[in-house]
A and B are shown apart, each in its own frame.
Chain A
Amino acid sequence: MTSSVASAAARSARGEAARVPALAATLAFAVGVVVLLGWTLHLDVLRGVAGVTGVMNPMTAAAIALCAGALACLGTTPRRPRLARFGLALAALAGAIAALRLAGAIPGFPFDVDRLLFPATLRISPATDGRMAWTTAAAITALAGALLLIDGRAKGQVIVRESLLGAVLALGLEAVVRHTYAFIPSPEALHAGTMALHTAIALVALGFATLLARPDQGVARLLTGHEPGSVLLRRTLPALAALNVVLGWMRLNVERAGTLSAEASIALMVFVSLLLIGTVLFVHAVAMNRADAASRGAMQRLGESEDRFRHLFEAAPVGILIVDTHGRCRYANSRWQEITGFTPATAEGHGWMRAIHPEDRKHIGELWKQASSSGEEFSSELRFRRPDGGERVVIARAIAMRDSEGGLSGYVNTNEDVTDWKKIQQELADARGRELEMKDQLLSNVSHELRSPLTAIYEFTALLKDGLAGPINDQQLEFLGIVLRNTEQLRGLIDDLLEVSRARTGKLSVSCAPFDLSVLAREVVEAMQPRAAKRGLSLRVDAPADLPVAFGDARRMRQVIGNLLDNAFKFTPEGGDVHVRAWTDRTAGIAGVSVSDSGPGIPPDERERVFEYLYQTNHDREASRKGLGIGLFLCRELMSRQKGRIWVESPPERGATFSVALPEFSIAALIAPVIEKPRSPDDLPAALLHVRLRGGASRPLTRGDREALEVARDLLERCSRPGRDVLLPDLGHDGFGSFWLFARANAPEARVLAERIEKLLAGSKTLIECGLSSSVSVQSLDPPAWNRGLEPDTIATEWAGQVLAQLEARANRDEERNAA
């Protein structure tokens, strides 16, 4: 608190000091102008009274006014260069006036500069010739010199300037004292050089003001400072000066009156001055001691506070590094040294930067630049490399430090060591990975090992049932049928086990293509009819022929719908109904299949959970046949991998309806993901690559060729650039061996891509062995019209249309060729 008061005091001392030049300049300028007016208008009282104040020479008045103007121009803050140059010119002019008057002392110098103005009336009384006093000329020369040097900051310049000002003040004060005691040696002495009183006051004011115009340098700094010495100087100097002048004046009067002898008056004066000086010093000594005690207290508290912070920093469990605005290390706590293995000496300056792992430096530097330019908090994970070769991973954060005025003073970096934590995380992940792998392996082994005994059971039962081990009666036949049916069920469960292991490890494969969901639904129902009949259920299918083409994996959909039917059969009592319906929702762009049963339904709280892994219903009629709790989980996994969905509805007392939906097939939807929002139509290149495999003469397709097709598709998938190219599925528009690749590429890029594909296909052993050759043609697509908007969906629709047109054109050409 004390320090803030002191600094406030210093600020106010400097603030007052800053007002002095303007005030003094105004005063001196006024004096100069008034005197010049007095000369012009012959008003004696304005010029000064001879024998009382003395008369100011008109050139002196002009020079003082010029100096005042110069000071006003030079003392302004902030400094204005043009004004300052003008001020220097004024000062130089005043200096020239005074210097020329001084030069008049040289015998033979013809030019009397002080007689330039009003030479006729200059001698106004016999007592004075009215000329500029030598002391005045010297003081003005010195003042002008100091003003010319006002912006000098070098030590020598400051000393010269302040010496000149000291001379000004000495000459001025000497004249003031002289007038105070009316110590005028003789009227004749006046012309030899006694300054007029108002000249002296004006010069003292200007000299003092010029000194204070640069309060941050030299003596002015001492005078305006907030240090105890400066305060003492400011307080005692005026008091002592005034005291001495007053005492001297009193003694003079006492001596003149002759009341006391010279000895007695000296003794009295010494006593009184000792008493007064002692009192002044005593008062100030007490004040200074008090201030010193306060400042010591403040220092101590500051020290304690610093200690607290240092201890806090040292005890902090995170590494702390403080850097200045240039990134130089200012402080590193012991935890930071511990993490990095750096010492304060090795971290000094920019040395700490070497602690950052070389591979991270560039990246971290960029992040840092970005954070410091945007003013955001820097936060990143980074690695330290210790001198001993060890590596530590830390979470690094940095915040800007600001001083009391809001200026940036540096950054505080905290580094939290997460190496061990990371290691544990990694170990956990590895352990989990191993566990999953083992489980996967176990499931795979179990399913494999179960199959051999199951095969034997199946084979021998089938042999018995087929009568290959002798004739069997009807009941035996029925029983053997039951064994076979259960074998089949067991086989299904083993299959599910394998599938779920794939689903859990993300290896469930789907390969999507356009297909007719209606046809598929009818086929699945057809295949399931015997089983429905066996259970005494009625199974109906309702599949309109005009359903839109769906996009998904037909084989997987067969599996999903089969699974839903299995469930429906399981939960529907004998004599019940199972109804399969294929449907479409054109607005949502989906096509689906729903399987409804007349079973007990599913309570609301279970409708989401039935799809969970290992979920088993409690409402199962056949408690002995709960299943593994993976059938519906698998269905959901398969649907989500096909970008479809599955859900169940179950109105009370009306059974359950499971529905699955797939997106309608659309080329636009396929290519939309690779189209970003473009900046302009020029940013929108696209091409369609047609890859065609050809056999020799038109020979029929063989098994090997089908494999070759798969190989070719794989190769093309590998060629296509992720996020830019889309290999379209087989759309059935054109014949065998035709592939279409949509590429976001301009003509040269498409050509490069085509060449790469040709090269890769030509180098494929499988294709060569099958005797297949390939050709690639490139067709560029027109960008959509600018005025139709540039939303990716719009563009995708436009291009999809162009792609379809190309495909159809190709199909028509093929047809015509075949017809010919």
Chain B
Amino acid sequence: MTTPRQTLLIIEDDPDVLKGISLRLQASGYAVVAARDATQALSAARNAKPALILLDLGLPGGDGFLVMDRFKSIAQLALIPILVISGRDPALNRDKALQKGAVAFLQKPVDTQVLLAAIEAALGGA
């Protein structure tokens, strides 16, 4: 793995999913910051300055799309790539997510290899 370790921000309200993905990413050499809702996400992003954000769409206190809009409207956060990971129907949400600036839309549950490849591609392209 490259040093220094890159920080990823995971925004996910389900604690089990959050923990599982965090463990997997840490095992793959990333530093992980977690947020459980939209408010936490914004402050965490400001503090940790993540290289990439993994975003769930169904969040308490704000739809994932609104969170994306907030990020894109704040200059210092607007350039952080966002990877959407959601259980929602891709046929209805993929286009919207991409339109709002997400780099990819992955449907839960995401195959580990696919997830890691998508993260690497997003970081490499950034």
A: residues with CB less than 8 A from B are 444, 447-460, 462-463, 466, 468, 487, 491, 498, 502, 507, 509, 707
* B126 interface residue per 8 A CB criterion: no
Q: Is the CB of B109 within 8 A of A455?
A: yes
Q: CA of A498 to CA of B90 in the docked complex: distance in angstroms?
A: 10
Q: List 15 A-B contacts (CB under 8 A).
A: A444-B89, A449-B87, A451-B87, A451-B107, A452-B17, A452-B87, A454-B108, A455-B108, A455-B110, A456-B20, A458-B109, A466-B27, A491-B109, A498-B89, A707-B98
Q: Which residues of B contact A463 (CB under 8 A)?
A: 20, 23-24, 27
**A509 vs B98: C-alpha distance when bound (angstroms):** 19
Contacts of A707 in B (CB 8 A): 98
Which residues of A are found within 8 Å of B20, using beta-carbon distances? 455-456, 458-460, 463
Closest 7 CB pairs of A and B: A459-B20, A451-B87, A456-B16, A455-B109, A458-B109, A451-B108, A455-B108
Any A CB within 8 A of the CB of B21:
yes
Within 8 A of A (CB), among B97-126: 98, 107-110, 112
- A451: chain B residues within 8 A (beta carbon): 87, 107-109
Q: Decide yes or no: A459 and B17 within 8 Å by CB, A448-B88, A452-B108 being known contacts.
A: yes
Among B24, B87, B88: residue with most chain A CB under 10 A:
B87
Asked, given contacts A456-B16, A456-B20, whether A462 binds B112 with beta carbons under 8 Å apart, the answer is yes
Interchain pairs with CB closer than 8 A, number = 63
Chain B interface size, under 10 / 10 to 19 / 20 to 34 / 35 or more = 10 to 19
Interface residues of B in 19-48 (CB under 8 A from A): 20-21, 23-24, 27
**Chain B residues within 8 Å of A460, by CB:** 16, 20
Of all chain A residues, the one with the shortest Cβ separation from B27 is A468
Write the chain B residue with the least CB distance to A766: B99
A452-B14, A452-B87, A498-B89 are known contacts; what are 17 more A-B pairs with Cβ within 8 Å?
A447-B89, A448-B58, A448-B89, A450-B87, A452-B108, A455-B108, A456-B17, A457-B109, A458-B109, A459-B17, A459-B21, A459-B24, A459-B109, A460-B20, A487-B109, A502-B91, A507-B91
Instruction: Provide the residues of chain A in CB contact with B110, threshold 8 Å.
Output: 455
Whole-angstrom distance between the Cβ of A622 and the nearest chain B Cβ: 24
Residues in A whose Cβ lies below 8 Å from that of B91: 502, 507, 509
In the docked arrangement, what's the CA distance between A457 and B91, Å? 24
Docked CA distance A477–B69 (Å): 43
Contacts of A444 in B (CB 8 A): 89
Pick the most buried of A451, A452, A459: most chain B CB atoms within 10 A of its CB. Answer: A459
Chain A residues contacting B109 (CB-CB under 8 Å) are: 451, 454-455, 457-459, 487, 491
Q: B27 — which chain A residues lie within 8 A by C-beta?
A: 463, 466, 468
Residue with the greatest number of chain A CB neighbours at <10 A, chosen from B16, B27, B108: B108
Centre residue among B14, B20, B110 by max chain A CB count within 10 A: B20
Cβ contacts under 8 Å, A491 to chain B:
109
Partner of B24, one of A449, A462, A498, A507: A462
- Min CB gap B7→A, angstroms: 20
Q: In residues 74-94 of chain B, which contact A (Cβ within 8 Å)? A: 87-89, 91
* Cα–Cα distance between A452 and B89 once the two chains are bound (Å): 13
Q: How near does chain A come to B107, taking the closest CB pair, in angstroms? A: 7
> In the docked arrangement, what's the CA distance between A796 and B62, Å?
55
Query: Nearest CB to that of B90 among chain A residues?
Result: A498
Give the distance to chain A from B65, nearest Cβ to Cβ, in Å.
15
Closest to A508 in B: B91
List of A residues within 8 angstroms of B16 by Cβ: 452-453, 456, 460
A474 to B109, CA, bound (A): 25
A444 shortest CB reach to chain B, Å = 6
Contact, CB under 8 Å: B14 / A456:
yes
Contacts of B23 in A (CB 8 A): 459, 463, 468
A173 to B59, CA, bound (A): 123
Chain A min CB distance to B72 (Å): 15
Q: What CA separation (Å) do A452 and B91 show in the bound complex?
A: 18
A258 to chain B, nearest CB (A): 135
The CB with the most chain A CB atoms within 10 A, among B23, B27, B87, B109, is that of B109
**The residue from B14, B17, B87, B98 contacting A447, defined by CB atoms under 8 A apart:** B87
Bound CA span A290–B110, Å: 107
Q: In the complex, A460 Cα to B108 Cα: how many Å?
A: 14
A92 to chain B, nearest CB (A): 101
Identify the closest chain A residue to B115 (Cβ): A459
A510 CA to B110 CA, complexed, in Å? 24
CB distance from B1 to the nearest CB of A (A): 15
CA A707 to CA B95, docked complex, whole Å: 10
Whole-angstrom distance from the CB of B66 to the nearest CB of chain A? 18
User: How distant is the Cα of A463 from the Cα of B109 in the complex, in angstroms?
Assistant: 14
Residues of A within 8 A of B88 (CB): 448
1/0 per residue B42-70: CB within 8 Å of A?
Answer: 00000000000000001000000000000
Q: Closest A residue to B13 by CB, please name it.
A: A452
Q: How far is the CA of A308 from the CA of B58 in the complex (A)?
A: 74
Residues on the A chain within 8 Å of B21, using CB: 455, 459
Interface centre among A448, A450, A487, A707 (most CB of B within 10 A): A448
User: B24 contacts which chain A residues (CB < 8 A)?
Assistant: 459, 462-463, 468
Q: Are A448 and B87 in contact, with the CB atoms below 8 A? A: yes
A634, chain B: closest CB distance, angstroms = 14
- Bound-state CA distance A472–B126 (Å) is 38
CB distance from B31 to the nearest CB of A (A): 17
Q: Chain B contacts of A498 at CB under 8 A?
A: 89
Complex interface: chain A residues within 8 A of B87 (CB):
447-452, 455
Shortest distance between the CB of B114 and any CB in chain A (Å): 12
- Please report the C-alpha to C-alpha distance between residue A491 and residue B87 in the assembled complex, in whole angstroms: 11
- CB closest residue in chain A, given B14: A452
- How far is B110's CA from A716's CA once the two chains are assembled, in angstroms? 35
Task: Tell me, rounded to whole Å, the shortest Cβ–Cβ distance linking A270 to chain B.
Answer: 119
Contacts of B14 in A (CB 8 A): 452, 455-456
A705 to chain B, nearest CB (A): 14
Nearest-neighbor residue (CB-CB) of A509 within chain B: B91
Q: Which residue in chain A gives the minimum CB-CB distance to B87?
A: A451
Q: How far is the CA of A450 from the CA of B87 in the complex (A)?
A: 8
- Which residue of chain B lies nearest to A710 when distances are taken between CB atoms in the complex? B95
- Bound form: Cα–Cα A454–B20 in Å: 11
